[in-house]
Structure 1
Amino acid sequence: MAHYRLGTMLFPPASCPRLVVKIGSALLVDPAGAVRRDWLAGIAADVADRARAGQQVAIVSSGAIALGARRLGLPRGGRASLEDAQAAAATGQIALSQTWAEVLGANGLTAAQMLVTLDDLEDRRRYLNAAATLGRLLQLGAVPVINENDSVATAEIRFGDNDRLAARVAQAAGAEGVMLLSDIDGLYDRNPAQAGAMHIPEVSRIDARIAGMADDGSASGMGSGGMVSKIEAARIATSAGVALAIASGRIERPLSATARHTIFLPEKRARARKAWLAGRLTVKGIVQVDAGAAEALMSGRSLLAAGATGISGAFARGDVVAIEGPSGPIARGLAEYDAAEMQRLLGRRSDEHEALLGYVPRAALIHRNHMALL
């Protein structure tokens, strides 16, 4: 049986039937704005090898803006303004999807294009629809090629980088592994351009020390994310029970080669709804709690009004809100009340709620069944 090694972990098809591979703009497009066709053909051959071994692969592909900028003659790789980026994406996406269809087709594989926006994966119903489409395409033997729909995304409602998109796609697809192919071979304890920088082969827990190693620059100038976005992607993936590797794509056949990289080990796989909550990038409001409530939440309790000290934001019942304690973020969950009602209940005992609301109250501000700890 073929095994696929990500860092120190093995992914045989039997235990890792699905893998998401993210390819950055700097790997797919050369400095002149042309597709690196030979390198991409090697990726397609790798995917075909994995498909024959029984593994299903989805691809999150950057490159539309870079390709479109060349065709339209736009400055700064099409990133001089939001309008330029949208125009470049609309033009480049056609070329990008055609290229993927050709290189995958040459290996007997069918490409399927999926363009998504942030709202498609943040709204629960749309998320489930996207997950169903991904699942069916993979079952049919197609290779989904996914990108953010940059032609309509705005600065306020977008992923902003395909690292985090890849992590969310892996969650939606039920994948066990994500590989971020980039122009760097993993995480270093400082900017790798600095003398003495040490490569980190494995991360078992993303804490402040690990986050502090990140650099938010994009070395190529084409992409939109640096190491900061990759660590954020790793946080989303690992909290959903998905392993994530950062590996260099500056080699031929990177999916079959053995090279140095960093793997972020997954946490215990969460229930689907809670994993979706933990991986969200946006919330409608924030609920502040005291130290006692924070401790109760960490032990698996629901959030009661007596431990809530403040709220911010305009949200309705059922919206996703963040919960923050004295030391920072604790959890995300679905609000059982709208903001105005929750404001009236802050700090009040449960036996006071009916008189304050005028109806029989719910059991908690945010129930533990609809909450995901961070």
Structure 2
Amino acid sequence: MNINTNITKTETNYFFYSLIFYSIVVLYLIPYELKLPYAKVCLPLLTIILILQLCYYRSKLLIVDILAVCLVLVVTFLNFSTYQLFRYSLPICLIAICFSGSPQIHIKRSYLVGLCWCATVAMIYQMIFYRRLEFDGSQRIALSNGDPNVSGLFMLIFFFLCIKIKFKPGIILALVSTVLFASRNYFISLCIFFILTSLEKPLFRIVNKINISIIFILGNLFGLLVGEFFLNRVEVGFAYDTSINRLFSFNDQSNLFRFEANRFLINSYANNLDLALKGYGENYESVFRPIGAIIHNSFLEVMAYTGIPLGILYFFIFLRIVSGYCTQENFKFIFSYLFFCLFLHTGLQGIAPLLFISILAMSIDNEKQNRIALFNRLGY
């Protein structure tokens, strides 16, 4: 049953404005080491804003999204933990409700530009002062989260936002940071983005004929096969290159540990049904850190935290919403982001997918162009 969920241009989507503000502040402005319990405060507040907005505008939702949210809540409370609730269940429920029907949501460009200026200044400050100390004594530039690869993820999302609103200072910062972070995944994802941009029309005609869920599944199978090939066939070097040269080398020991973590998860679930149903939850890092690395695949990471039932519901909602936004304008964002998620964690949990989908949903209102159009209609 397809019920229109669009909020018209004359109606301000206060939840969407609040969601963008929350995402930018948490990802780019608040220093990570403060470890503030923002999710436990802000996610319930965002939920209240969304409910009030739905009631005020009398917005209607797709039945399938309502059912999916109900199932997520049921599965969550059957295996309740506040960790899963605030990291997975509430964010995916907000995605399902806010973006039900995949509407284009209007937002003022000036608002986004102001937030992007704040984020740009904050990230420049962080890149000046924050470093990750490597085992060989070298230091790598990072954002306040301390991980150059996760910093690459946040910068990739910021790059998408800047491209969407044509914010040049942010675009320049994102491009320069490929050298500063020396993150292979970020570098390759940007390359994929520009390849998709240059071949946008012919590639989209092909992609548009294939269900995005199939592409997502095949992509993750490809990621797993790459890991198995790496573990079984590739001679691993022992030197872990921390210089810019690492952008072009892949056979270091860090990748070995990451692919071992993927294999460990699959084997542990295959041998323990109860674990597969419930997931590792809050014990995830204490189990996987001793292996040498946590899982570097965002799909498997969600499955590891939540278990298979909640994980399936999570990705059912995520892929339903994303597929609704797979337009010619957005497909370069979608596929470069999904590639990034094949070989790094964090991309499909918490705030990151909220901001990513928000970028896909944006319909930018340019006040200057609107005024010119108004004057033209009035005959000035």
Task: Please report the TM-score for the alignment, with normalisation by the length of structure 1.
Answer: 0.27
- Decide which structure has greater helix share: 2
Task: Please report the TM-score for the alignment, with normalisation by the length of structure 2.
Answer: 0.26
- Decide which structure has greater strand share: 1
Higher relative contact order (CA 8 A, sep 6+): 2
